[in-house]
Structures are given as structure tokens and as C-alpha cells.
Chains A and B, each alone.
Chain A
Amino acid sequence: MILDSKGRGSKLLMTAAKNWALLFLFLLVAVFSITGKGFFSLTNFQNIIHLSTIFLLLSAAETYVIIAGGIDLSVGFVMGLSSVLSAKIMQILHASALPEPASMLIGGVVGLTVCIIPGLISGTLIARFNVPPFIATLGMWGVTNGITLRICQGFPISFLPSKLVGLGNGYLLYILPGRAVSFFHKPFGIQGSQIRELVRIFPNSLLFSFFVLFILWYILKHTKFGQHTYAVGGSMDAAIRAGIDVRRHLILTYTLSSFLAGLAGVFNVFQTGIGNFTPFSAMYELFAIAGVVIGGASLMGGKGSILGACVGAVMIRLLENGLSISGVEPFFRFVAVGLILILAVVIDQMFPELF
């Protein structure tokens, strides 16, 4: 067959298409800076990133699963489970006069450890019993939600150690222009009137998520586990015949996803200061999946990246933030996300060779 080579102009087009999500993100920033007063500011951007943390984690969780050719519908409720469980334990320990750091630590660790279980179960059902991922994780969706509601009886859990919120919402650097600089907490002796001038840089949450995401990115790109994830998603048969223990890999993948969802839940407790179950309407898992797909993954498996998932997750949050600052009703973000999602898929198909 004769291969036809196109001119140089289309090469630019191809590069644009390959990174369309990133370009679109910049476009959104530009548009919202015009339509929304106060959008284009350090505070606002950091706010967006801060609020994105949970979604970054959930999208990262889904990235692994989706690249491996599966799907995890339970992440939203697993997050709720860990949020509620760790909060509950922190509450109990705090009430029993244990020092705050200890109760926070123990609560967090327990929440995390327990959240490995749903993933283990899903993974086993999928890998060993051939239950379709949609169903297995849907089942876990229900079970974890039920357990979560049982623990909290439908009410948020409060009376938690007071240092929580400080840690969760703190920043690395506080600068009072011309006066003081401090790390991790507001400068001492600051007056109420001066707080407005305070410049905050690098939310703790960003440090935290950057750390986690970096590890995940590294694993996916540079380790055997990451390579195998792409292989299993690209062609499970080929992976099996190449000697990869696909079963074990899948179980690990879903456990990882579940663990990250648990991490998101623990983090949520730090961010909000309470433990709360995930309401139905939040649809976290669907947004997490949307983020990953916008970022370039294919639901068929074998394609995707952590970076892409981050761009997708941030884009959705940015949309919400930008739309509300511009005075548009918040529900339009649903419409917007929907349209962008479709756009993502259509572009993906127009340039299949690229991704």
C-alpha cells in the first residue's frame, strides 16, 4: 500500500488536536478572566486547585482502572466510607482525650486501611469470577454506601480534633508584604485588619496531591506495573500470553483505585472538618470518569495518562468556578461538562493515530 504523506500545515493541527484539552483549558481561563471579575487571581486559582484535590485523586484512581480496560463505579461511595469511618474514629478518640495528632493519625490510617477492602472484593470478583467490572463495582457502590450510612446514620460526623481544618486548608507560605513571612501557619501577632493583605502560596492540599500524583504518574510511566496496565487494557489476551499475571494485576488495580478513593475521603475530612457520606447527587464517580476521558483515555482501555486525567479533573472544577464567578447558574456546568465530554470523544476518533 502506498503511504501518502501530508504537508506541514496539518502537523500543527495534529499537535493541537493531541493536546486539545490543555489548549481548551487555557481558552477557558482566558474567557472566564474576561467574563468573571476576580477569576484571574492567585487566590482564585489556588482555590480551584484546592477544591480540585478530591477530584484529582478520584480521577487518578479511575485512570489506572480505565487504562486497564475496566471501570470503577464505587469510588464516590468508598470515599464517603473512608470519610465517615475515619471521622468517626477521630471523634471517638478525640472524645477520649487522646492527643489530637494521634487521633487524627489513627483515624486516617484506619479509614485508609479499611478502604482497601472494597477494591479487593471488586478486583477479585472481576478477575477471578469474571463479573463484568460495571456490575462488580456497581455492587460495591451499593454495599459501601449502605455501610457508610449505617455508620453515620445519615448525619455528618463532627466534634473532631480542631487542628484538622488548619492542616487541611493551610498553606505552605504566608507572606504579609513587607512585614512577615512564615511557613505552614499564619504569622504570629497578625491583626485582623492585616489579614486581607496576607498572601498565601501553595496550599497544603496542592503539596499533598502533587506528591501523590507524582508517585502515581511515575508508577504508570516508568514501572513494570504501569506498563502492564497499558498491556492488559490494550489486549488482555496478548498480556496473558506474554506471561503477565493478569488476574493479580487486576486485583491490584482495583485495590489501588479503592485505596485512592479512601485517601480522597480522609483528605475530605481534613478539608471540611467533618466526616460526611457521599450524597447520590454528587455523582463523583461519573465526574472522575469524565475527567479521565477528557484527558484522553479511552473507555476501551489501553490509553490514558495521569497528566491527562489531571487536566480533565481541573477543567471540570475550573468550569464550575468560572461559571459561578461569571454569574451563570451552577447547573450549566452539567451541560458544559456533557458537551466537552462528547467533544473529547469525537476528537479522539478523528485523530485515532495520535493517542
Chain B
Amino acid sequence: MERSNNRGKGFLMFLGRRWALMFLVLESLVFSFTAPAFFSVKGIQIVLFFGTTIFLLGTAETFVIITGGIDLSVGFIMGFASIVSAKLTVIFTRMGLPPGVGILLGILITWMIGLIPGYVNGTLVARLNVPPFIATFSMLGITHGISELLIRGVPAKNLPYLANAIGNGYFIYSVPGEIVSLFKKPIIQRGVLLYEIIPNVVVIAFVFILVFAFILKRSKFGQHTYAVGGNIDAAIRAGINVKAHLIKIYMVSSFFATLSGTIYMLQYITGKADAGAPFLLDAIVSVVIGGASLYGGIGTVGGTILGCLILSVLETGLRMMGVPTFDKYIAVGIILIFAVLVDQFFPELIHKGD
């Protein structure tokens, strides 16, 4: 009698520990019934395509939140980056450079410039002891101001077609039965069904996300990130250069926000100052759903991505159902609170060694 009870309890614990995953599966199932187009190749691509922004911003926040901080500026750094990369690309193309080179150069330079807001954030937090909330809120305003200055009300346009092709292209193009081509959209006869699988932007995003997830999990840098978040005094006394580390962390966050902005530019071939603003909430929610604590010391990139998927599926599913996105906010709010409550009722999730 007791053994079967324990087994039942163990199973419940197993589920409880993976509640986010369960939720994602459930959610997907529900939508596949209520929204006809959801559970299809196309549907999944849409989830991934629109989710890219959240994946990147969520990864950005993961690093910062593990150290016990927060980065409110990622949305506007993203907008800033989208504008800068758009303008640079236009300039290079106009100078006569081939579009591919122009785009690449524009993006690389933007990535470098995009590290600056992060450096400033980190310096404010680490060297001037400004609370992260305030420091990044100020950076939000400053990047917003600079973005508007750059764009002066006129959105960037006349970007080369290649940008659009990359931004909206897919990794694999296949016809039922065989893979026709990679990266390049093939010309096919009418009436033949073409599957487009895995948007390019997702590939680009995940290359970086996977690299940094690896860094967080297995490298000294990652270990120190957890240490700083767990007990900053212990980290200082153990000889870790905490100030430098925090600056690097905010630069990582800034980098991912910048990356997201350059991808936005490829997706929508324009730059917009507030491109990332609506996604800040989603990013932070994903991180919390993924198991991180706002007090720091806990969290993983994998968990965050899971959280991002939950939100992206939610948004896409609702949209496909024709439900106004108002309800999305309510749902997200509830899920967020639920995530935190679950963490409290299953403390073993946090305390168990592995």
C-alpha cells in the first residue's frame, strides 16, 4: 500500500518539477485543436519566427537576472540596433558595396557599437553602485533618445533585397520526399508543395544562444556568474573580480539585445526605435517561468527558452484563433504568478544538488 503511494507521489513530483514542460505540451495540444493551422509545419515556423526576439531578449535577461540584477533597457537597445544596422546597410549599399558585404559589415559594426550601452549599464551598476533597475531604466531612456535622434521621424528604408531574403528565408526548403535546397529559395513549378523549415533568423539566433548557454553551464565565466548572484561577498573574497564580471554580464545582455535588433532589421527591413519595447515583459517572464529567481543565483538558458516557447506558442495560438491579443496579457500575468508560486511549493527544485 505504502509503496504504491510513494510511487504515485514520486510521479507527481516528477511532473511538478517539469511543470513548465507539461504546460508547453498542454498548451500546444489545446491550440492544435482550437486553431486549425497551428499544428503544422507552417504553424511551428511561425512560432519560431516570431519567437526569435523573445529567445534573444530572454537569453539576455537570463545572464543579468542570475547575477541578481535586471536589464530594463534591452527593448530599446534592440530598437537602437535595428536603426543603426539599417542605416549602415543603406550607407554601404549606396557606396557601391555588394549587398551581402554591406549587410554583413553593417551588422558587425552594429554588434560592436551595441556593446557600449551594456558597458555603461555595467559600469553604473558595478562601479557607481546604481541599482540595476535605475541604471537600466536610464539607459532605456538614453538609447530611446539616441534612436529617435538618428531616425528623426523618418524610418530607414531602401534596404537591399538580400536583407529581406535572409531575414525571411528558411534554412531548409523541401518538397515532400526530398530536400531541395538550403538557404536559397528554389523556384518550383506551380502546384508543387514547398515546405519551408526553420527560419534563417532562428538558426542565427540559436547559434549564439547555444554558445552562451554552454558558456554559462560549463565555463569559469558561467560559474562566477552564479557565484556573484548567489553571494556577492563570497565571490569578492574568493578573489573574483566582481566589478569586471558584472560589466561583462551587462555587455552580454546588451549584445543579445543588439543581435535581436539586427535580426529585426533583417526580418522587417527597417529600423524602429521601440521595436523591442513590447517584448521586455515577455523576456523577464520567460526567465522566471524557466526557473530563475529574481534574487539571483539560479536559472538556466534552457529554462528560459522553455519559457520563451510557452509565450510564443501562446501568442501565436491566440492570434491564429482570432482571439484579440488582449487576453494574452492576462494569461501571461497569471502564468507568471503561477510560476513563482510553484517554485515555492516545490522547493526541492531549487535546493537539490545535481
Contacts and interface: CB of A to CB of B under 8 A. Distances in A.
Interface string B123-141: 0100011110111011111
A345 interface: yes
A334 B334 contact: no
Q: Which of B149, B277, B295, B326 has the most CB of A within 10 A?
A: B326
A125 B148 CA distance: 39
B65 to A, nearest CB: 10
Nearest to A130: B344
Contact of A132 (B141, B142, B340): B340
A332 B144 CA distance: 9
A299 interface: yes
Interface in B256-303: 274, 277-278, 281, 284-285, 288, 294-295
Interface string A130-165: 111011101111110111011001100000000000
A143 B344 contact: no
Contacts of B340: 131-132, 135-136
Nearest to A342: B138
Interface of A: 71, 125, 129-132, 134-136, 138-143, 145-147, 149-150, 153-154, 280-281, 286, 289-290, 293, 299-300, 329, 331-335, 337-339, 341-342, 345-346, 349
A94 B144 CA distance: 42
Given A136-B337, A331-B144, A143 B330 contact: yes
Contacts of B128: 342, 345-346, 349
Given A131-B337, A136-B337, A142-B330, A341 B281 contact: no
Contacts of A345: 128-131, 134
A299 B133 contact: yes
Contact of B281 (A141, A147, A150, A286): A141
Interface string B170-214: 000000000000000000000000000000000000000000000
Nearest to B278: A280
Interface of B: 70, 72, 124, 128-131, 133-135, 137-142, 144-146, 148-149, 274, 277-278, 281, 284-285, 288, 294-295, 324, 326-334, 336-337, 340-341, 344
B326 A129 contact: no
Nearest to B336: A139
A309 to B, nearest CB: 15
Contacts of A299: 131, 133-134
A289 B139 CA distance: 15
A280 B144 CA distance: 14
Contacts of B144: 331, 334-335
